[in-house]
Amino acid sequence: MKLHRESKGTITVATILFLVLGALAIYFLKIWSLLIIAPLLVIYCLIFWFFRVPDRTILDHRENVIAPVDGKVVMIKEVEENEFIKGKAIQVSIFMSPLNVHICRYPVSGKVIYKKYHPGKYLVAWHEKSSTENERTTVAVETETNHKVVFRQIAGYVARRIVFYCNEGDQAKAGHEFGFIKFGSRMDVFLPLDTEIICKIGDITKGGLDVIAKLKD
């Protein structure tokens, strides 16, 4: 199983803790140490599972808006996006549980024209205000169809580290990685009002593969 580059520090710390706690349990508890080691092993394996990198064939897209993450669609609504668009947009929000793949992908193809990191709170990721109050990043892409699409990584109650690798001027390719969020979190995508929304609330998405909307060409 291929692991994400963001896993190195977490897995190193987890390995040391697992070995130390396991050794202490064996030394003091003997045969009863299995009561400690078994759940520790489950947690240790879940950490590896969290940082997995699935093998996916990413196609080229022009009008299609691709699911940026694995997760569940929890919101589709018209909102005011005041950071970059400064007007009305359709917000599509996808919630990621700790068991989902947490690679963040470009939802559209085009050119990165804006990026910004915002420190903030750690409200639960499905909270509506998390989009504007939590720790988050905002990226805007001018698409090949001449639309401006904004998307936002949002840290949740558990997530405490967001990374994004893109810079202004970069070429964005729909479905390809631009960042990562550690543990439970959310991604919001803000689309033009005339966008055809294909997904619905409750849909389970696979990042880089599923089409969630279609821009007008």
User: Of 7, 93, 131, 185, which is the active-site residue?
Assistant: 185
156 backbone dihedrals φ, ψ, rounded to 5°: -100, -160
Look at residue 159 in the predicted model and tell me its pLDDT: 53
Look at residue 108 in the predicted model and tell me its pLDDT: 98
- As averages over each run of 10 residues, the pLDDT of the chain (217 residues) reads 91 96 94 94 94 94 97 96 96 92 96 93 62 85 97 76 93 97 87 98 98 95
Look at residue 133 in the predicted model and tell me its pLDDT: 73
State the pTM of this model. 0.90
What are the sequence ranges of the domains in the chain?
Answer: 2-53, 64-214
**Catalytic-residue membership of 185:** yes
Distance set, CA 173 to CA 63, 121, 177, 194 (Å): 12, 30, 8, 22
Look at residue 166 in the predicted model and tell me its pLDDT: 96
CATH (residue range 64-214): 2.70.70.10
